[in-house]
């Protein structure tokens, strides 16, 4: 894959020097929000990583190349083209690469490319999971399979609250993926700080989380780690309000017969619409919070290595 993997020279130097690096996805640029808010948010996330002592490596596919560490021009290109850029997961990678197309990487695809580049800390908003209509749709996010086998620690605000959180946690447990709560016993629910479901372990410090990450992979236990970081309380939306909005959005999604990878963007867009933009503001703030935590963990991991 060396001919398809293109690592930014600054990231190459950082890798060689053993400096802390945080991988970042590109779906937030193309499918998360409109231009220019998308590019402003993406650049702000990179700055937060830098301000907390690590090096940001935003990942995407440009002209059939797996790009690790986008330039400012590449980020601008993705932001302007937005929805025209294909949303790419594991199954899509061979097609996008062979056809020399562009792609915005999901959690799963970002994990794959980060692992290729030897980057093992990744910050995102929320991971995918088991969908609420699993008995009818059999819809389980590819993110969960990737977490089961790819050695990347994912800092997130839990599972997106549009999903079935208890079943997602059961799936992760079955596949041996540890779920760490950062200073919480409760699995965050994306827009809200608590879902009512318990995490496996509550760890209070970045240094202790780094020790767990190091130990897991030293023992050759393949697979990722979920580090669940609750949204800051002042940005959290009331659980009752957001659940009502999600229920209405799910009904509309079924009426319009939206399925597959279109479901999450549709639901997030509808939720933003029905909350008057409050959910989008919360989404941005939780991503900022996760980027800061991921950078601190990456710094601690580098120090103990």
The catalytic position among 46, 67, 87, 160 is 160
- The angle, 0 to 180 degrees and rounded to 10, between the axes of the packed helices 107-116 and 142-149 is 30
Rg of the chain on CA atoms, in Å: 18
Does 160 participate in catalysis according to the annotation?
yes
The catalytic position among 25, 46, 74, 146 is 25
Does 254 participate in catalysis according to the annotation?
no
- The angle, 0 to 180 degrees and rounded to 10, between the axes of the packed helices 278-304 and 206-218 is 60
Question: What is the Cα–Cα distance from 207 to 303, expressed in whole angstroms?
Answer: 9
Long-range contacts from 194-201, C-beta under 8 angstroms, 24+ separation: 194/230, 194/239, 195/158, 195/159, 195/161, 195/165, 197/165, 197/166, 197/169, 199/228, 200/173
DSSP state letters, 107-132:
HHHHHHHHHHTT--EEE-S-B--BBT
The set of residues, in sequence order, having a beta carbon less than 8 Å from that of 201 and lying 6+ positions away, is 178, 179, 180, 181, 212
Helix (H, G, I), strand (E, B) or coil at 192: strand
Tokens 């990450």 locate to 213
Tokens 């197309």 locate to 101
- Tell me which residues are annotated as active site: 25, 160
């Amino acid at each position: 894959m060396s001919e398809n993997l293109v690592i930014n020279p600054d990231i190459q130097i950082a890798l060689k020097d053993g400096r802390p690096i945080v991988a970042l996805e590109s779906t937030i640029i193309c499918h998360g929000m409109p231009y220019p808010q998308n590019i402003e948010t993406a650049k702000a996330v990179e700055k937060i990583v830098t301000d907390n002592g690590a090096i940001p490596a935003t990942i995407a596919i440009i002209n059939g190349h797996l790009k690790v560490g986008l330039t400012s021009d590449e980020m601008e290109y993705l932001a302007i083209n937005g929805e025209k850029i294909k949303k790419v997961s594991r199954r899509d990678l061979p097609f996008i690469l062979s056809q020399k197309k562009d792609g915005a990487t999901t959690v799963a695809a970002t994990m794959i490319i980060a692992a290729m580049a030897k980057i093992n800390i990744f910050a995102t908003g929320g991971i995918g999971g088991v969908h609420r209509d699993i008995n009818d749709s059999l819809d389980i996010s590819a993110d969960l399979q990737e977490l089961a086998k790819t050695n990347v620690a994912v800092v997130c605000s839990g599972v997106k609250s549009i999903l079935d959180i208890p079943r997602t946690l059961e799936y992760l447990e079955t596949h041996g993926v540890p779920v760490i709560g950062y200073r919480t016993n409760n699995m965050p629910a994306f827009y809200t700080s608590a879902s009512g479901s318990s995490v496996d372990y509550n760890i209070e410090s970045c240094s202790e989380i780094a020790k767990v990450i190091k130990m897991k992979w030293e023992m050759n236990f393949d697979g990722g780690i979920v580090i669940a970081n609750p949204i800051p309380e002042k940005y959290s939306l009331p659980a009752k309000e957001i659940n009502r909005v999600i229920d209405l959005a799910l009904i509309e999604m079924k009426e319009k017969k939206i399925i597959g990878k279109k479901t999450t963007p549709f639901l997030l867009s509808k939720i933003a619409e029905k909350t008057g933009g409050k959910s989008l503001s919360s989404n941005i703030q939780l991503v900022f919070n996760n980027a800061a935590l991921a950078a601190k963990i990456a710094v601690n991991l580098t120090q103990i290595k």
